């Protein structure tokens, strides 16, 4: 359960950073990624498949960042790699899916109310943070 709270703290820190600076705090992500990999090897709580799948979700986001020429942030991919080694494939996929749904709901409301436009950019990490908090509560 401590991993869930650690991921929430990591996402909160990077969510605030992303909101203010439109970028993530890469050192915190790399430290978390390294610690998660060491912990995964040491404690062997996740299978290789779960670990690789969790990382794969982050790598997939990085590929999407290159394909969209930055419309999706590369830092979001790095962050999902770090959460992937901590949560595993199923947990990371649930986090990404819930974050995307929250983002879609909020931005749809913004579009309908005239507060957002199609070409606007927005930070995604706060939605991931909210999704992680929901995962903990539910």
Range of 20's domain? 2-137
Query: What integer pLDDT is reported at residue 84 of this predicted model?
Result: 97
Overall number of domains in the chain: 1
In which band, very low, low, confident or very high, does the pLDDT at 1 lie, cut at 50, 70 and 90?
Answer: confident
Q: Name the percent of the chain lying above pLDDT 70.
A: 100
Please give the model's pTM, rounded to 2 decimal places: 0.94
Backbone angles phi, psi at 122, to 5 degrees: -155, 155
- In this predicted model, what pLDDT tens digit does every residue of 18-59 receive, in sequence order? 999 999 999 999 999 999 999 888 988 899 999 999 999 999
Q: Compute the residue count for the chain.
A: 138
- In this predicted model, what pLDDT tens digit does every residue of 120-136 receive, in sequence order? 889 999 999 999 999 99
């Amino acid at each position: 359960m401590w991993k869930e709270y650690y991921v929430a703290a990591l996402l909160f820190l990077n969510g605030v950073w992303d909101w203010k600076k439109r970028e993530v705090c890469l050192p915190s992500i790399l430290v978390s990624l390294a610690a998660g990999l060491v912990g995964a090897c040491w404690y062997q709580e996740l299978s290789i498949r779960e670990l690789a799948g969790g990382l794969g979700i982050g790598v997939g986001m990085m590929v999407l960042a290159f394909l969209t020429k930055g419309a999706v942030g590369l830092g979001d991919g790095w962050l999902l790699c770090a959460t992937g080694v901590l949560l595993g494939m199923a947990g990371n996929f649930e986090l990404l899916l819930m974050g995307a749904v929250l983002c879609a709901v909020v931005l749809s409301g913004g579009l309908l109310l005239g507060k957002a436009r199609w070409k606007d950019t927005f930070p995604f990490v706060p939605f991931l943070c909210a999704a992680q908090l929901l995962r903990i509560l539910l």
